Amino acid sequence: MTEAPETTPSRRALIGWGGAGLALGAVAAGGAVAMARTGDDVVPAAAGTGAAIPFHGERQAGIATPVQDRLHFAAFDVKTDDRAEFVQLLKDWTAAARRMTAGQSVGEGAYGGLAEAPPDDTGEALGLKPSRLTLTFGFGPSLFEKYGEAFGIADARPEALAELPKFAGDNLDKNRSGGDLCVQACADDPQVAVHAIRNLARIGMGKVVIRWSQLGFGKTSSTTPEEQTPRNLMGFKDGTRNIAGTETDRLEKFVWVGEKDGPAWMAGGSYLVARRIRMHIETWDRTSLQEQEDIFGRDKGEGAPVGKAKERDEPFLKAMLPDAHVRLAHPDSNDGATILRRGYSFTDGTDGLGRLDAGLFFLAYQRDPRTGFIRIQRNLALDALNEYIQHVGSALFAVPPGVRDKDDWWGRTLFGKEA
């Protein structure tokens, strides 16, 4: 982090940024989308070198962009019914997000300002690189329920933003579920992600309050199939058949909300389902290798589907047991339903009974949750994996399109017009 004044360098000019499509093309061409700050200049740099991911674009970063290693996810509840105050918060958050994703401090920085006032930035990210920080913002169904009238947005609620239904086996903790707003902070450095959420919460004091939050380490899915597939806490490769960030056609079909889908303010956005899934790690660790492999329908070493040799070989579903996870989750078993998974492992200490409170913080983006997550999760009612997992937290958010330039702000397509 530097204390340089905000210069908002034009990344569009520098790399010909024209939205996610181009940026993703750049990733495919060698990771040129990532940028590193040196003083006030922005120069292209390879991913994984502490670089910055462009904040401005047609789509929000943090969905199809390469998945970083660390997560801090926060759900907020809104505490003001004053529309103007809330809109100002969205603008203030955007300004702070723009700076933090570029590796800059919030506002006037962490020191050097008025001695009598608390600094604008909390300071713990000073000296750290941008670390590919992405901040992805969304609105929850409860925002429309609680503040639809006060904010003049009641009629703008998307039909797709209905509360998720109850699924077989759910054991949801309301203190880890829901939320009027969300911010997903992903970065290669956990301190950079935590700093971002903390500073947004600080800026929102009195107007929003954190309802719940989740730290994640170790991505369990990726959008970059050319890299090694990460493994989840059950030891299996996870994300093999995920949508890649370069698959523009599949992203259009399954992830981005289309112009005609409605409402207009969501065009170019996506819907995010978050599920905190606890794993019964200790029971899993006493399960035979054969059973573990049967449960997923893939082998543990290579990650190949049953009867096949290589991880990327096309799964032959009928060779798997009827209740194998991959067989039940596959698009062919769900009328073609396909989602972009972007989850992380978590370990939040122990549960007081000598067991790890660990699992998968499942994050999935889709064009419509009714034909995405809900469709698949219903089919997973019979999943053999259910004996070893339990869904304990749940939330759904409408993630609007990207912040296009320095005058744009999170939620402008919803709140930009006078109520």
> x/- site string to ligand HEM, residues 186 to 225, per CB under 6 A?
----------------------------------------
CB of 328 to ligand HEM, least distance (A): 9
Among 47, 96, 326, 398, binds ligand HEM (CB under 6 A): 326
Is the CB of residue 345 less than 8 Å from the CB of residue 358? yes
**How many whole angstroms separate alpha carbon 83 and alpha carbon 79?**
11
Supply the minimum distance, in Å, between the C-beta of residue 2 and ligand HEM.
39
- Specify the residue, 376 or 414, whose C-beta has the smaller distance to ligand HEM: 376
Q: State in angstroms the smallest separation of the CB of 183 from ligand HEM.
A: 22
The correct pick among 296, 344, 365, 409 for binding ligand HEM (CB under 6 A) is 296
- Asked if 244 touches ligand HEM (CB under 6 A), the answer is no
Query: What are the b/e assignments for 31-63, b being 16+ CB within 10 Å?
Result: bbbbbbbeeeebebbebeebbbbbbbbbbbbbb
Report the C-alpha gap between 166 and 49 in whole angstroms.
43
Using CB under 6 A as the binding rule, whether residue 377 contacts ligand HEM is answered as yes
**Distance in Å, CB of 262 to ligand HEM, minimum:** 24
Task: Give the interface segment with ligand HEM, choosing from 122-130, 205-213, 253-261, 357-365 (CB under 6 A).
Answer: 357-365
Q: How far is the CB of 17 from ligand HEM (least distance, A)?
A: 30
Minimum CB distance to ligand HEM smaller for 238 or for 368: 238
Q: Which of 364, 318, 363, 316 is nearest to 338 (CA)?
A: 364
Q: Which of 184, 232, 345, 366 binds ligand HEM (CB under 6 A)?
A: 232
Binder among 389, 395, 396, 398 for ligand HEM (CB under 6 A): 389
Establish if 246 lies at the interface with ligand HEM (CB under 6 A). no
Which letter, b or e, does each residue of 370-397 get, where b requires 16 or more Cβ atoms within 10 Å of its Cβ?
bbbbbbbbebbeebbbbebbbbbbbbbb
Q: Give the whole-angstrom CA distance, residue 380 versus residue 388.
A: 13
State the nearest-atom distance from the C-beta of 400 to ligand HEM, in Å: 23
Residue 362 sits in the site that holds ligand HEM (CB under 6 A)? yes
276 binds ligand HEM (CB under 6 A): no
Q: Choose between 129 and 325: whose C-beta lies nearer to ligand HEM.
A: 325
Q: Give yes or no for residue 254 binding ligand HEM (CB under 6 A).
A: no
Give the shortest CB-416-to-ligand HEM separation in angstroms: 34
**Rounded to whole angstroms, how far apart are CA atoms 170 and 338?**
22
96 or 380, CB closer to ligand HEM? 380
Q: Which of 185, 376, 395, 399 is in the footprint of ligand HEM by CB under 6 A?
A: 376
367 binds ligand HEM, rule: CB under 6 A: no
User: Among residues 121, 238, 294, 368, which is the contact residue for ligand HEM, using CB under 6 A?
Assistant: 238
Work out the number of other CB atoms within 10 angstroms of the CB of residue 118: 9
User: What is the C-alpha separation between 15 and 35, in angstroms, rounded?
Assistant: 10
Footprint on this chain of ligand HEM (rule: CB under 6 A): 232, 234, 236-242, 275, 277, 279, 296, 298, 315, 325-326, 329-331, 339, 359-360, 362, 373, 376-377, 380, 389
